[in-house]
């Protein structure tokens, strides 16, 4: 049971399917906020805000509320956290936004207690959003952790869903959510407070599901006083969920690092750009994962890691905004450069993930040829640019990889001479990119082929009448790319 002394914090989570005015809801955001006021909410989590780089003014200027939100697309995803300005002694520390619009993390102090507030939209096509959060949590949680949002799946199908048929989306996303809450020792608050009840947050035709949830860590779950699902028709196909938390009177003092983090959000900071609302900005989670992947990663405290993560995040986003690398940054090959290069490599690898298909049917009269890609090639920038355009990278942020031209030396061969292959974070990603582009070009000849990413090779099954055109194509690729391609029979 929660202690009797202290304050209560009220939080609402709601997938509103957009916040902009519609024909049927000309005052949609006002209606949403009026519900929050009626419930005396201190904090509101919104999912599917559909905020793009040019349409954020309304959510940014909600009277009486501090707004923190992701910028992604005017048609999909997006999350926001709104904090009532009347909360006593509210102190903003810092926040982190997912580059793909899947979550936002707010570090703050309310009623004298430190909080980590996390708003999640677990999109059905983005099975990595909880993974991106997981390692970040391991190193960065401060104070009381509250996670809320639309998870697009149910935890217990027998209790949380009624439907005539199993839904593949639920089946695909559930293991990721189960792993996430298990690894972080999280408690489903509504289920723990209503173990014998059945209720739903979304209904569609004959299907009813409880997709919208709040989670807290096991040791803090007893602070949850109530959790309710509210029937609010007309605004969204989801219902809002409210959570009331008991906040103990024990005060958590802001450390020196917390104070410096607050300064990092100050408009006077040289990396701070208030109008920087581009989609695909580098997140603190990306910086942290890159930092931890390096052999020379720091062994600092959690607060020091958070400070370094936030500092580098601001610096890297300023580099991307200006599309200009600071003097001496390119080839200094220091830790800061490696972290930045690792982030770019990690993003690139997402789009180069192999598709696990069955074996292609080999033409009966074909002969197998193997094409091996040299592991330390010289690659022309123009070839890389064509390769980037060919692999469908434009589907999701980051939309512009021209910064690679400045991160990498003009003659890429220099990079591999200066660094062993396993020390250059971009090497595997660039080699995989070239391999994928080779596959793309050769497939246009109608030839059956398979790719080995580990061997950096193509196995091409060529019919005799196609051999001449394929060899001619490989010769052209050699000349335009600078790649060393070895063909064996």
Q: Residue 203 is part of a domain; what is its CATH number?
A: 3.60.10.10
Q: Indicate if 100 and 229 belong to the same structural domain.
A: yes
What global pTM score does this model have?
0.81
Average pLDDT over residues 373-402: 66
Known binder of ligand: residue 439? no
Catalytic residue chosen out of the listed positions 238, 258, 432, 461:
238
Q: Is 304 annotated as a binding residue?
A: no
- Same structural domain, 237 and 263: no
147 beta partners: 118, 215
Q: Is residue 360 part of a domain?
A: no
Decide which of 351, 377, 392 is a domain's last residue: 351
On whether both 340 and 480 belong to a single domain, the answer is no
Question: Which of 123, 132, 179 minimizes the C-alpha distance to 151?
Answer: 123
Mean local confidence (pLDDT), 210-221: 96
Q: Report whether pLDDT(332) > 70.
A: no
> What phi and psi values does residue 85 have, to the nearest 5 degrees?
-70, -10
Catalytic: 121? yes
Specify whether 111 is catalytic. no
Of the residues 42, 98, 126, 150, which is catalytic?
A: 150
Closest CA to 432 of 378, 391, 382: 391
Higher pLDDT, 424 or 184: 184
The domain boundary, picked from 247, 277, 303, lies at: 247
Domain that includes residue 339, residue range: 256-351
In the chain, the number of structural domains is 3
Give the per-residue pLDDT at 54: 80
User: What pLDDT is stored for residue 373 in this prediction?
Assistant: 81
- Which position among 121, 316, 369, 437 bears the catalytic label? 121
Q: What is the pLDDT of residue 243?
A: 98
Residue pointed to by tokens 């993974």: 131
> Do both 203 and 265 map to the same domain?
no
The residue ranking higher by pLDDT, 162 or 213, is 213
Ramachandran class of 40: left when φ > 0, alpha when ψ lies in -120 to 50, beta otherwise = left
Are 315 and 429 contained in the same domain? no
User: Shortest CA distance to 302 belongs to which of 343, 252, 261, 267?
Assistant: 261
Last residue of some domain: 199, 227, 247? 247
Please report, for the domain that includes residue 458, its CATH number. Answer: 3.30.70.600
Is residue 241 located within the same domain as residue 265? no
122-153 confidence digits (pLDDT tens): 998 888 889 888 877 777 778 899 999 999 99
Say whether 238 is catalytic: yes
Question: Is 330 annotated as contributing to ligand binding?
Answer: no
CB-neighbour burial class of residue 226 (10 A; exposed 0-12, middle 13-18, buried 19+): middle
Same domain, 286 and 240: no
233 within a domain of the structure (yes/no): yes
Instruction: For residue 356, tell me if it sits in a domain.
Output: no
Q: Token pair 């909600």 is at which residue? A: 62
Q: Report whether 238 belongs to an annotated binding site.
A: yes
For residue 250, is pLDDT > 50? Answer: yes
């Amino acid at each position: 049971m929660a202690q009797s002394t202290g304050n209560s914090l009220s939080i609402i989570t709601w997938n509103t399917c957009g916040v902009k005015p519609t024909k049927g809801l000309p005052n949609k955001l006002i209606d949403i906020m009026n519900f929050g006021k009626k419930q005396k909410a201190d904090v509101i989590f919104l999912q599917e805000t559909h905020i793009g780089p040019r349409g954020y003014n309304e959510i940014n200027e909600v009277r009486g509320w501090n707004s923190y939100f992701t910028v992604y697309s005017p048609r999909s995803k997006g999350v926001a956290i709104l904090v009532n300005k009347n909360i006593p002694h509210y102190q903003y520390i810092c926040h982190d936004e997912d580059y793909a619009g899947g979550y936002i993390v707010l570090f703050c102090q309310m009623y004298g207690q430190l909080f980590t507030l996390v708003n999640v939209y677990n999109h059905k096509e983005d099975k990595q959003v909880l993974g991106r959060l997981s390692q970040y949590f391991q190193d960065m949680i401060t104070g009381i952790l509250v996670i809320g949002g639309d998870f697009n799946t149910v935890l217990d199908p027998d209790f949380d869903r009624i439907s005539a048929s199993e839904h593949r989306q639920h089946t695909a996303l559930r293991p990721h959510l189960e792993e996430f809450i298990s690894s972080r020792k999280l408690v489903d608050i509504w289920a723990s407070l209503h173990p014998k009840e059945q209720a739903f947050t979304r209904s569609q035709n004959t299907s009813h599901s409880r997709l919208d949830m709040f989670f807290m860590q096991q040791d803090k779950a007893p602070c949850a006083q109530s959790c309710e699902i509210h029937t609010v028709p007309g605004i969204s196909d989801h219902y809002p969920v409210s959570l009331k938390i008991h906040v103990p009177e024990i005060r958590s003092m802001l450390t020196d690092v917390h104070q410096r983090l607050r300064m990092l959000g100050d408009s006077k900071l040289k990396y701070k750009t208030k109008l920087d609302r581009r989609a695909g900005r580098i997140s603190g989670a990306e910086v942290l994962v890159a930092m931890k992947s390096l052999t020379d990663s720091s062994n600092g405290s959690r607060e020091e890691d958070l400070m370094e993560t936030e500092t580098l995040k601001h610096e890297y986003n300023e580099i991307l905004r200006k599309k200009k690398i600071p003097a001496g940054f390119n080839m200094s090959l220091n830790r800061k450069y490696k972290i930045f290069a690792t982030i770019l490599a990690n993003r690139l690898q997402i789009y180069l993930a192999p598709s696990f298909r069955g074996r292609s049917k080999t033409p009966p009269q074909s002969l197998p040829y193997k094409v091996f890609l040299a592991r330390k090639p010289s690659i022309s920038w123009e070839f890389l640019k064509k390769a980037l355009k060919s692999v469908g990278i434009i589907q999701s942020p980051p939309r512009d990889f021209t910064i690679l031209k400045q991160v990498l030396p003009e003659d890429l061969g220099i990079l591999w001479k200066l660094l062993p292959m396993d020390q250059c974070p971009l090497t595997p990603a660039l080699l995989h990119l070239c391999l994928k582009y080779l596959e793309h070009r050769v497939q246009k000849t109608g030839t059956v082929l398979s790719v080995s990413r580990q061997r950096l090779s193509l196995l091409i099954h060529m019919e005799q009448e196609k051999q001449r055109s394929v060899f001619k194509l490989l010769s052209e690729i050699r000349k335009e790319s600078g790649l060393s391609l070895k063909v064996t029979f």
